[in-house]
Structures are given as structure tokens and as C-alpha cells.
Amino acid sequence: MSQPVIVTAIFHIRPDSRDAVVEALHTALPLVHEEPGCELYAIHETADGTLVMIEKWESEALLDAHGQSPAVAALVGEIGQYLTAEVAVTRMSPIPIGATGKGAL
């Protein structure tokens, strides 16, 4: 059995473009939620306006397939003009500690 993969993707966007980026996310997220292996794909906003995607994928292979999906290609094409830096993507492996469901994503 493969171990799940946790991902953060940090989007630094122009302050005047938040609404356009959020609108693009409203289109993309439901499509990604339907992709094989997607266990979590949730966007969050920091106090300074940075957007952080927190993801959980069933396996590396399914995460790799997501990276090539039409939903990702459309999202990147739509929001690329609003980014102030390249999206910072970090892949992580959980180290479950403590109560089940609380000690790891």
C-alpha cells in the first residue's frame, strides 16, 4: 500500500487580482476534487493575501497525474498573469503521531 502525499502550493498574487484568482479556483477545485486519488484539495488565505493550497493525494503516481490534468492546465493558464512569483510547491510524507485522524492529514 502506498503512503499518502501531502502538498502545499503557495500562490503569491497581485493584491488587485484576488477576486479573479478566487473565481478561477471556484472553477478548478470541483474538477480536481473528482480526480482519482484526490483526498483533500483546499485553498486558504493568509493575512497578507497569499493563497495556500493544502492537498492530500492517495499516491505519488496519482499526484503526478493531477499535475498533467486539464483542470491544472486551465488554472495555470488562467491565473499565471496574476502571480508575482512562481508557485512554490512542496511535497511531504506524513509522520502520524497521536490520535488517529488528528496526528496526520
CA angle 66, 68, 74 (to 5 degrees): 95
pLDDT greater than 80 at residue 70: yes
With respect to residue 93, please indicate whether it lies within any of the assigned structural domains: no
pLDDT tens, residue by residue, 13-56: 999 999 999 999 999 999 999 999 999 999 999 999 999 999 99
The region, left, alpha or beta by phi > 0 then psi within -120 to 50, assigned to residue 63 is: alpha
CATH number, position 46: 3.30.70.100
pLDDT, residue 30, reads 97
Domain count, the chain: 1
Structural domain including 34 reads 5-85
With respect to residue 32, please indicate whether it lies within any of the assigned structural domains: yes
CA-to-CA distance for 34 and 11, rounded, in angstroms?
Answer: 22
Q: Determine what percent of the chain is predicted with pLDDT higher than 70.
A: 99
Contact (CB, 8 A) for 56 and 105: yes
pTM: predicted TM-score of the whole model, two decimal places: 0.91
pLDDT greater than 70 at residue 1: no
